[in-house]
Structure formats: C-alpha cells, structure tokens
Amino acid sequence: MPEALQTSMAATGIAARTGTAFPIPESRFPNPGSTTTRILGIDPGSQRTGVGIIDVDAAGRTRHVHHAPLLLLGEGDFALRLKRLLYGLDALIEEYRPQEVAIERVFMGKSADAALKLGHARGAAICAAVLRELPVHEYAAKEIKLAVVGKGAAEKQQVQHMVGLMLSLTGKLQADAADALAVAITHAHVRATAQRLGVSTQQAWSRK
C-alpha cells in the first residue's frame, strides 16, 4: 500500500488494532504451495452483513470453511456502522486469508434510502478487500440464484437449501449467511469455467 495512503488513513483514525493501517499479510494462501483457492463471499447489508468462506480446488470442488453474520446494529450512527463493517471484514480477512472476494450487487428494486445505505455498505466491504489487495468480483442476485438453484427467480429458502446441500452443511442456514456462501459458490463455478476455457471470469459468465 502506498505510504501516502497509509499516512492519510492513520491521520483519520482508520488503523488496524496493531497500530498500522491495514498491514498486508505475508501470505494470503490457505496453505503454502496449495492449488486450493479461498473465496470470501459477502452479502452486504447496513444492519447485518453475511460472510461466507469456501475453498475451491483445481477440479472446481468446493469445501465450507466459515460463515457468520456480521452484526452492525448498536454501533451508533450509520457512519460508525460502516466503520464496524470495514474493521470486521478486515479482521476476518486477516484471520482466514482469502485470495479472492465475491460480493452481491445492489438490487435497485429497493427503496431509494435502502438502496443508498446498501450501496454505502457495499463500498465499505469492497474497500476492505481492496485495502488487502484482493480482487473483487461482483454478481447480481439473479445470477447467483441461477448458478446455485438453476433459476434466477428462486426463493431465498431454495438458495438456503441448495447451499446446504452443496457444502454438506447440517442445520438451517440464516438467509444472509446462505447468500454470502451462494455468491462465493457462484464465483467458484465461474472461476472454474474460466480456467477450463482459458478466458476471463467475465467471458466465462457470458457463456453460461
């Protein structure tokens, strides 16, 4: 990260718990030399954000690593919620060392106020990834449902059910965690297709 950016971030109080501005870890790989890629999926929200982490191997097989809601309520005004989101995702990235990030796009069918707040939450989430120099891939809700369930108009319960089956999870998944895992699974599938065809992820999705 450029020194000027670190200085600016530190001056505005945006610093990691260690006192340095979001230090880049020496290795972001699950295991050194591994062919497995770790993907962090994010379902952004202004009150709670779903996070889901999976590993995908060279054959495209996925394995569940972690999922949880990141609760933002009780953090004071909206700006403090965004700060909590940024710090929370940074801590998660530091702990689990994902190599790529997938995030759901804003659904513009929501009210203007809700869409604006969701857009701010997405921005904070994307910043958390970019500050760690992680590539960010974005997918619309219909694309995620199509990849996981097979139809773009699938209900949330269908997404939860299919995510549980795909990752061999027991117990009921909360909607935000299921959505976060679903966007990670979507990117894993698109990524595998891109590698097989020797094209970019954008080109791979257009061929689906």
CA dihedral 84→130→194→64, nearest 10 degrees, is -30
3 state SS of 120 = helix
| Rounded Cα gap, residues 67 and 64, in angstroms | 8
pLDDT for 117 beyond 50:
yes
Res. 208 pLDDT band, cuts 50 70 90: low
pLDDT the model gives residue 12: 36
Query: Which candidate in 90, 143, 176, 179 is catalytic?
Result: 176
Over residues 5-25, the mean pLDDT reads: 39
Instruction: Out of 10-14, 30-34, 42-46, pick the least confident.
Output: 10-14
| Rounded Cα gap, residues 72 and 171, in angstroms | 24
pLDDT the model gives residue 192: 85
Asked about 138 being catalytic, the answer comes back as no
Asked about 26 being catalytic, the answer comes back as no
DSSP 13: T
Query: Which candidate in 55, 104, 143, 179 is catalytic?
Result: 104
pLDDT the model gives residue 202: 64
pTM over 0.85: no
Asked about 77 being catalytic, the answer comes back as no
Cα-atom radius of gyration of the chain, to the nearest Å? 17
Res. 60 pLDDT band, cuts 50 70 90: confident
Domain ranges of the chain: 33-206
pLDDT the model gives residue 72: 87
CATH of 33-206, one of 3.40.1010.10, 1.10.357.10, 3.30.420.10, 3.40.50.1820: 3.30.420.10
Query: Which one has a higher pLDDT value, 126 or 202?
Result: 126
Q: Is 190 within 8 Å of 205 (Cβ atoms)?
A: yes
Over residues 34-48, the mean pLDDT reads: 92
